[in-house]
Structure 1
Amino acid sequence: MQNISRQKELPPLPSSNLAYPSDLIDFYNFCGGAILFEAGKDNVSFEILSPDDLVRINVVMLGDENLFDISSTWYAVCRTDNGDYISIDLSREGNGRCYDSNHEVHGVPGSCPIVSKSF
């Protein structure tokens, strides 16, 4: 793992229904982002985004917040070298579950599998 920046403060969230999970806070207290697995012939690179880049995944993928969709509380937390994302649910109910948010199926009901129950 390569630490790509110094630790940074998390930006305020726009709603009291949203909260940063403690493991995400711990990560950002340690560093401001990271690169996992340098891209190469046999592997995909994952960039844990800096706190400044934590934005709603619907804005990134669809250009709109889609506030009435289940994914409206998901934020981009990791970008792959092929331009896809892993998103994290910052709703208090979602409690940090992470989802595969790729360009082909993001926003299609039932097509964004949970890849982790926590950051």
Structure 2
Amino acid sequence: MPLNELLEEISRRHFPNPPASPQQIEDFERRAGWRLDPDLRAFYSRFDGARLFKRDDEIYRILPLSEIVRARVAILGKDSDEYGPASWYAICDTGDSDYVAVDASTMENGRYPLLDCFHETFMEAGSNKRIAHSFSDFLERALRSGGRPYWLKNDWALLPAPPS
């Protein structure tokens, strides 16, 4: 589904924040040291974060730019390479100190992949699985999930790298 249709659905059926200003986007990119990809830029230009499904939903709370930090900081409270990659940024709070993160070190087809960052296994090798090829892929799956973390279903297959 095209991203603009997903954003319209969020606007109509969910709980978005007002848009981030161009200055807020620029400030975030300067602070984080990476540029938003086209999906993320479109989302934050339209909404500076959102809650999907319920106002108090902690499964899909897409963070405002001001709350996006390295996943290791969000999960472990430590900003050191021994606590995880510096390029993973928590972008969606899924409750209980768990997050979905953007891997800002890897662009595929011009988009950043998203990862499941479960706090109990965050530092274990291979535990942070790719759950979406892009932010729009993540949004589409999230919006069809019925408010449940789609990547935890038994019948859901983890994603391989997309074809080049």
**With structure 1 as the length reference, what TM-score do the two structures score?**
0.80
The equivalent position to 2:88 in structure 1, one of 60, 71, 74, is: 74
Structure 1 Cα separation of the partners of residues 96 and 53 of structure 2 = 13
Other-structure match for 1:31: 47
Other-structure match for 1:113: 129
> Aligned AA for 2:100?
I
Structure 2 Cα separation of the partners of residues 112 and 92 of structure 1 = 14
User: Which is richer in strand?
Assistant: 1
> Residue 26 of structure 1: SS of its match in structure 2?
helix
Structure 1 Cα separation of the partners of residues 40 and 48 of structure 2 = 11
The equivalent position to 2:79 in structure 1, one of 58, 65, 68, is: 65
Aligned-pair identity in percent equals 27
Structure 1 Cα separation of the partners of residues 118 and 80 of structure 2 = 17
Offset of residue 93 of structure 1: 4.4
Gaps of 5+ in 2: 1-13, 136-164
Cα gap change, 1:14/1:45 in structure 2, threshold over 3 Å: closer, same or farther?
closer
The equivalent position to 2:63 in structure 1, one of 14, 39, 49, is: 49
Structure 1 Cα separation of the partners of residues 125 and 43 of structure 2 = 30
Structure 1 Cα separation of the partners of residues 100 and 131 of structure 2 = 8
Between the two proteins, the alignment pairs up a number of residues equal to 114
- Please provide the CA RMSD for this pair: 2.5
Question: Would the aligned equivalents of 1:71 and 1:107 in 2 still touch at CA under 8 Å?
Answer: no
Other-structure match for 2:18: 6
Q: Which moved more, 1:92-101 or 1:70-79?
A: 92-101
User: Which is richer in helix?
Assistant: 2
Structure 2 Cα separation of the partners of residues 92 and 83 of structure 1 = 24
Deviation string for 1:84-104 (max 9, x for gaps)? 110111225474111101111
